Structure 1
Amino acid sequence: MTTGGELALRQEYVIGDEIGRGRFGVVRRCYAVATGDPFAVKSTPKSPLREAAEAADALDLALAEQEPKIHLLASSPGPGSSPHVVALHAAFEDDSAVHLVLDLCDGGDLLSLISSHGSSGGLPEQEAAGLMQQIASALASIHRRGVAHRDVKPENLLFDSAGGGVLKLGDFGSAAWFGDGVAMRGLVGTPYYVAPEVVAGRDYGEKVDVWSAGVVLYVMLSGTLPFYGATAGEVFDSVLRANLRFPPRAFASVSPEAKDLIRRMLCRDVSRRFSADQVLRHPWIVNRGGAAAMG
């Protein structure tokens, strides 16, 4: 990581307009001084993270400080890399902030695409299968490198260009390394998408990402959430019960093959839950949402 913070950043990049905002940081468009190539820069001030750490625990600050290393491990080129992971190109840090220079993904996020269908329900199966193939490709790649994302949701799945560009997994602010048998712990993620073993407070592995991706697939096909409640506590209770249903009104036109994949991803028994590689090999994915014999 480059030291020198914002001063060093501005020597190498021209900072442009704001294009996104998260819990603690802001994302702006930027351009490399040397080439003019466009990127995005995510800037996270450390002061609110320190305040959060003092008020509760140090998890947010710790995650922010390790994000560049984890993201670089997840996205660097090489064997097994995926074009569906937002790449980290440079990082700058000083006492006040962390700045990450990333792929520019200005085609909107998956949530916007799902929302655009409104009352018409979910996405066509062929489109949903193509998108899930890209998500599973990203997860299989980072899992092979010992990285779990831990916050897979439509808002963190970004299109690199308008009009249905390449879908990429972004925001590694909650990611963790699980290589060499390191167990992960901690209630990290978004209530509607978090896996039961995370809510239960147990050690967990990378298959938490497959569960979250299963929720994303359910939402893509139906426009509804599988587990919900009026409060975060009620949502967590629903997740722990893991009572998966396919309401006829929302799933009337969804194929048995698609439902089969959802069941295998939203399986409470982690030993039986699919891995990302198994998702990629499922007939519904292989046949891009077309009918296929189930084995």
Structure 2
Amino acid sequence: GAQVALKLLSKARTPRCRFLREFCTHLCLRGALTCVQVLPLAFETPTEFGFAQELAPAGDLCGLLTPGVGLPEPQVKRCAAQVCSALCYLHGHALVHADLKLDNVLAFDPECHLVKLGDFGLTRVQGAQVRPAPGHAPYAAPELLPRARPRPGEPHLAPPVDTWALGVLLFALLTGCFPWAAPARSDPAFRRFRAWHGRACAEGEGAGPPGRSWRGLAGAGLEMLRGLLHPQAGRRSPPGEVLRYLGGAWR
């Protein structure tokens, strides 16, 4: 039979309800060919919960990435098209992945002809309330970061959260680094990006890139990232918009 990978979650750190939610979410996504598929059978040991999922022989995108270099552009575009397909499926079923990152995109060959989105432990229904993202995570959308003057209630999950993470992921694949440590005003790289984004929206392609790591990106790549990484959640491009840029140069 086909080889599978076992996903094991420690009972000491994972409540049973959280494990079952992740496993059932996987089962609900069995119709999405760009999402990692699982066998309809869960199990437990005295110390762990577990289930079997597809084996990705090439590992995840983080393992394929060359730091400071990235991946070849055709490979990045193949990843982009397939991850966008997975996100469109999720959003079309009123779900938000909420944990899109290099580690959670699995590759079935080193050239990324087949990649799939996995790890649905944080996936929730759109509109679910979440706590502000702690620490400094480059993938976290600005609206999920703790505020100095918090607004009433906790933030609600919506598709733009995934769109932001997609923009960060594609930037990392193209450059081999993250655009910032966290999308916060205390981060100098993010402050430069915010200033560039405002100029680019006003001046178009006349605005220079916001930093050294952005200089290798071509016009189509910059325009695509500008839409995905709009600081205002309501003005971000949807994931499917990336498909319009596949024919242009990203570097």
Partner of residue 266 from structure 1, selected from 226, 229, 233: 229
1:65 is aligned to: 20
Q: Is the 8 A contact 2:64 2:110 kept in 1?
A: no
Q: Is the 8 A contact 1:46 1:95 kept in 2?
A: no
Counting aligned pairs with the same residue, the percent is: 25
Q: Is the 8 A contact 1:107 1:165 kept in 2?
A: no
Deviations 1:196-239 (A, max 9, x none): 1111452231221110010011111222211216xxxx968549
How many residues in Structure 1 have an aligned counterpart in Structure 2? 227
Aligned to 1:202, what secondary structure does the other structure show?
coil
2:132 aligned with 1:158, yes or no?
A: no
2:143 is aligned to: 197
Partner of residue 49 from structure 2, selected from 98, 119, 141: 98
Partner of residue 165 from structure 2, selected from 206, 212, 217: 212
Aligned to 2:234, what secondary structure does the other structure show?
coil
Where relative contact order (Cα < 8 A, 6+ residues apart) is larger, the structure is 2
Q: Is the 8 A contact 1:184 1:203 kept in 2?
A: yes
Structure 1 residue 95: Cα displacement: 8.2
1:185 is aligned to: 130
Deviations 1:2-24 (A, max 9, x none): xxxxxxxxxxxxxxxxxxxxxxx
Q: Is the 8 A contact 1:147 1:176 kept in 2?
A: yes
Q: TM-score, normalised to structure 2's length?
A: 0.78
Note closer, same or farther for the CA distance 1:84–1:268 as it changes in structure 2 (3 Å cut). same
- AA aligned to 1:185 is V
Q: Is the 8 A contact 2:160 2:234 kept in 1?
A: no
Note closer, same or farther for the CA distance 1:107–1:220 as it changes in structure 2 (3 Å cut). same
Matches within 5 A, 1:29-40: 36-40=1-5
1:275 is aligned to: 238
- AA aligned to 2:40 is A
CA distance in 2, matches of 1:104, 1:65: 21
Deviations 1:17-52 (A, max 9, x none): xxxxxxxxxxxxxxxxxxx221112121322335xx
Q: TM-score, normalised to structure 1's length?
A: 0.67
Gaps of 5+ in 1: 1-35, 51-60
